[in-house]
Structure 1
Amino acid sequence: MTKETLAYENIDREFKELYVSDIKKTVVAFANTEGGILYIGINDAGEVVGLPNVDDVMQQTANTLKDSIAPDVMPFVKIRAVTKEGKQIIKVAVQNGTSRPYYIREKGLKPSGVYIRQGSSNQQLSDEGIRRMLIEVNGKSYESMRSMQQELTFTALRKHFRQRELKLDEAQLRTLKLIGDDGLYTNLALLLSEQCEHSLKVAVFQGSTRAVFRDRREFTGSLLQQLYDAYAFIDNYNKTKATFHGLERVDTQDYPPEAVREVLLNCLVHRDYSFSGSTLVNIYDDRIEFISLGGLVTGLKMETIFIGVSQTRNPALAAVFYRLRLIESFGTGIEKIQQSYLDTAAKPEFIAVYGGFKVVLPNVNEVQAKEFSISETQEYYGFVDEKDKVMQLAAVQGYVTRKQVEDALQVKTTKAYMLLQELCDAGRLAPIGVGRSRKYISR
Structure 2
Amino acid sequence: MVQHESSKVEFKREYSDTIRRSVIAFANSDGGCIIVGIADDGEVYGVADVDVTLSRIASTIRDSILPDVTLFTRCDPEIMDGKKVIRIDVQRGTARPYYWKEKGIRPEGVFVRQGASSVPASPAAILQMIGESGEGRYEEARSFNQDLTFTQTAAFFRKRGLAFGKAQMQTLHFIGNDGMYSNLAWMLSDQCVHSIKLAVFEGAEKSVFRDRRELSGSLLKQVADAYEFIDRLNRTRSDFQGLDRVDSRDYPPEAIREGLLNLVVHRDYSFSAASLISLFEDRLEMISVGGLLPGIQLSDIELGVSVLRNRNLADVFYRLRLIEAYGTGLLKIRECYRGAPQQPVLAVSDNAFKLTLYNRNRLAADNQAAAPAAPRLASEREQAVLRLIARKGRVTRKDVESECDIAVGTAVNLLRAMLDKRMIVKVGLGKNTAYRSKD
Q: Please tell me the TM-score bracket, short chain as reference.
A: 0.7 to 0.9
Residue 429 (str. 1) matches residue 414 (str. 2): yes
- TM-score w.r.t. length of structure 1: 0.84
Residue 308 (str. 1) matches residue 304 (str. 2): yes
Which residue of 329, 354, 361 corresponds with 1:333?
A: 329
Residue 386 (str. 1) matches residue 385 (str. 2): no
> What amino acid is the match of 2:150?
F
> What amino acid is the match of 1:261?
R
Question: How far apart are the structure 2 equivalents of 1:64 and 1:77?
Answer: 12
Distance apart, 1:78 and its partner CA: 2.2
Secondary structure at 2:155's aligned position in 1? helix
Residue 369 (str. 1) matches residue 365 (str. 2): yes
Residue 287 (str. 1) matches residue 277 (str. 2): no
* 1:127 paired residue number: 123
> What amino acid is the match of 1:256?
P
Answer yes or no: is the 8 Å Cα contact 2:113–2:119 preserved in 1: yes
* 2:136 paired residue number: 140
* 2:149 paired residue number: 153
Which residue of 232, 236, 259 corresponds with 1:236?
A: 232
Which residue of 44, 50, 67 corresponds with 1:48?
A: 44
Which residue of 179, 198, 204 corresponds with 1:208?
A: 204
Answer yes or no: is the 8 Å Cα contact 1:272–1:313 preserved in 2: yes
Q: Deviations over 1:62-98 (max 9, x none)?
A: 3332333221212222233333233222222212212
* 1:413 paired residue number: none
Distance apart, 1:124 and its partner CA: 3.2
* 2:31 paired residue number: 35
Which residue of 253, 271, 278 corresponds with 2:267?
A: 271
Question: How far apart are the structure 2 equivalents of 1:286 and 1:189?
Answer: 37
* 1:415 paired residue number: none
Question: How far apart are the structure 1 equivalents of 2:425 and 2:33?
Answer: 82
Distance apart, 1:376 and its partner CA: 7.2
Distance apart, 1:375 and its partner CA: 6.1
Secondary structure at 2:268's aligned position in 1? coil
> What amino acid is the match of 2:44?
V
Change over 3 Å in CA distance of 1:373–1:245 after alignment to 2: farther
Q: Deviations over 1:88-109 (max 9, x none)?
A: 2222221221211112233322
* 1:416 paired residue number: none
Residue 298 (str. 1) matches residue 297 (str. 2): no
Answer yes or no: is the 8 Å Cα contact 2:141–2:182 preserved in 1: yes
Q: Deviations over 1:293-343 (max 9, x none)?
A: 112222211111112211111011001111111001111111011111012
Change over 3 Å in CA distance of 1:294–1:59 after alignment to 2: same
Secondary structure at 1:56's aligned position in 2? helix
> What amino acid is the match of 1:59?
S
Q: Deviations over 1:172-221 (max 9, x none)?
A: 21221111111111100000100111111111111111111111111100
* 1:107 paired residue number: 103
Which residue of 259, 265, 271 corresponds with 2:255?
A: 259
CA RMSD in angstroms comes to: 3.0
Answer yes or no: is the 8 Å Cα contact 1:206–1:285 preserved in 2: yes
Secondary structure at 1:183's aligned position in 2? coil
Residue 97 (str. 1) matches residue 90 (str. 2): no
> What amino acid is the match of 1:39?
I
Question: How far apart are the structure 2 equivalents of 1:365 and 1:354?
Answer: 33
Distance apart, 1:270 and its partner CA: 0.5
Change over 3 Å in CA distance of 1:137–1:47 after alignment to 2: same
Question: How far apart are the structure 1 equivalents of 2:272 and 2:371?
Answer: 53
Q: Which moved more, 1:83-92 or 1:343-352?
A: 83-92
Question: How far apart are the structure 1 equivalents of 2:260 and 2:426?
Answer: 36
Question: How far apart are the structure 2 equivalents of 1:353 and 1:388?
Answer: 51
Question: How far apart are the structure 2 equivalents of 1:128 and 1:298?
Answer: 27
Answer yes or no: is the 8 Å Cα contact 2:25–2:118 preserved in 1: yes
Question: How far apart are the structure 1 equivalents of 2:286 and 2:47?
Answer: 66
> What amino acid is the match of 1:111?
P
Question: How far apart are the structure 2 equivalents of 1:10 and 1:206?
Answer: 63
Which residue of 180, 184, 187 corresponds with 1:188?
A: 184
> What amino acid is the match of 2:75?
I
Question: How far apart are the structure 1 equivalents of 2:247 and 2:111?
Answer: 62
> What amino acid is the match of 1:220?
S
Q: How many residues align?
A: 404
> What amino acid is the match of 2:255?
A
Answer yes or no: is the 8 Å Cα contact 1:29–1:114 preserved in 2: yes
* 2:391 paired residue number: none
Once the two structures are superposed, the pairs formed by residues 336-415 of structure 1 within 5 Å of their partners are 336-373=332-369, 386-387=376-377
Secondary structure at 1:50's aligned position in 2? coil
Secondary structure at 2:321's aligned position in 1? coil
Change over 3 Å in CA distance of 1:250–1:131 after alignment to 2: same
Residue 250 (str. 1) matches residue 246 (str. 2): yes
Q: Which moved more, 1:153-162 or 1:6-15?
A: 6-15
Distance apart, 1:435 and its partner CA: 11
Unaligned runs of 5+ in 2: 387-399, 428-433
> What amino acid is the match of 2:353?
F
Question: How far apart are the structure 1 equivalents of 2:378 and 2:319?
Answer: 52
Once the two structures are superposed, the pairs formed by residues 155-174 of structure 1 within 5 Å of their partners are 155-174=151-170
* 1:224 paired residue number: 220
* 2:16 paired residue number: 20
Answer yes or no: is the 8 Å Cα contact 2:425–2:435 preserved in 1: no
Change over 3 Å in CA distance of 1:78–1:377 after alignment to 2: same
Q: Deviations over 1:347-400 (max 9, x none)?
A: 11111012111001100100000000586777xxxxxx82499x9xx9xxxxxx
Answer yes or no: is the 8 Å Cα contact 1:429–1:440 preserved in 2: no
> What amino acid is the match of 2:47?
L
Percent pairwise identity: 45
Answer yes or no: is the 8 Å Cα contact 2:151–2:190 preserved in 1: yes
